[in-house]
Amino acid sequence: MTGSRMIVLRHGRSGAYPEALVARQEQVVRARARCFRLAAVCLGLLCVLLLITNIVFYVKYINLEEEKNSMSKNTFSLRENFKVERKTFLSYITNLTEERDGLNNSYQNLTEEVDQLKSIYKNMVKERDELKSSFQNLKCMSFGSSNYYLFNNKKSWSEARQECRNKGADLLIISSKEEQEFFKKQDVHAWLGLTDAEEEGEWKWVNGSLMTTTFWKGGEPNNANQGEDCAVFTPSTDPLNTWNDMPCTESEKWICELTAVP
């Protein structure tokens, strides 16, 4: 039931204070209208607030979207940069590996070279010492057109011969009675350049000539123990009987002969 209808009913039933009642009812109506207006204003304000909130969120959304796009772009660019840098780094590693392998090879070669040089140095020191010792003990003699070198250290027949050949000479060949007597006077015990190693009993000088004049000791050559193929000059009382056959592997002093070129 609305307010104006209530006013009519009350007025008809009692008939008392109608103006006051009307006034009161108008007052109520105005109060209600104010309430409605207030509610409408509040609603409007709420709508405005909602709109503002929506706008703020929308702006924020746009900003975030832009930020996201920018970050995506950055990520892509970073990824590309990373790919390029990775490629550069891998190539750098490859170069370094090759360089390291090259250095390893060089080091290995140098080590081998150093070892070779060390071994050469060692041999040269040994050779020098041997030469020193040889020359310290060397006795030089001269007879006829030959020069002779008596070495006072001892070697096998082959080694002794090699020593002579290294110096452009060869082991001593006695080809005359005078030469034999000359060496008897030197009182030496040394290898001669005489051997029957090729064929037992066939004595040959180192120049390939067959032995013709001989100065063997009594009972020599006897090829004792079937192993004496090299001749040695020995000290003896008899100047024309001083040779003996000995095992070639024995160590003896030796005489080198250097014949003057005519």
List of residues contacting ligand 2F8 (CB under 6 A) = 219-220, 222, 224, 228, 244-246
DSSP, collapsed to helix, strand or coil, labels residue 253 as strand
* Helical ranges in 137-208 per DSSP H: 157-166, 177-186
CA distance 93 to 87: 10
Number of residues that bind Ca ion (CB under 5 A): 6
Furthest CA-CA distance within the chain:
198
Q: Pick the closer one to Ca ion by CB: 14 or 222.
A: 222
- Residue number with CB closer to Ca ion (146 or 234): 234
With CB atoms as reference, the residue minimizing the distance to ligand 2F8 is: 224
**Closer residue to ligand 2F8, CB minimum distance, 239 or 247:** 247
Binding site partner of 63, from Ca ion, ligand 2F8, none, Cβ cut-off 5-8 A by kind: none
**Contacting Ca ion (CB under 5 A), which of 180, 195, 241, 244?**
244
Q: How many CA atoms lie within 13 A of 154 on its CB side?
A: 9
Give the nearest distance from C-beta 200 to Ca ion in angstroms. Answer: 13
In whole angstroms, how close is the CB of 222 to ligand 2F8 at the nearest point?
5
**Binder of residue 219, out of Ca ion, ligand 2F8, none (CB less than 5 to 8 A by kind):** ligand 2F8
Rule CB under 5 A: say whether 245 interacts with Ca ion.
Answer: yes
Q: How far is the CB of 252 from ligand 2F8 (least distance, A)?
A: 11
Nearest CA-CA partner of 260 in 144, 159, 175, 179 = 144
The verdict on 133 binding Ca ion (CB under 5 A) reads no
- How far CA 230 is from CA of 62, 157, 239, in Å, comes to 115, 7, 20
Contacts of Ca ion in 181-240 (CB under 5 A) = 220, 222, 224, 228
Cα separation, 20 vs 31, in Å, equals 16
Q: How far is CA 218 from CA 236, 239, 243, 245, in A?
A: 11, 12, 9, 12
Residues that bind Ca ion (CB under 5 A): 220, 222, 224, 228, 244-245
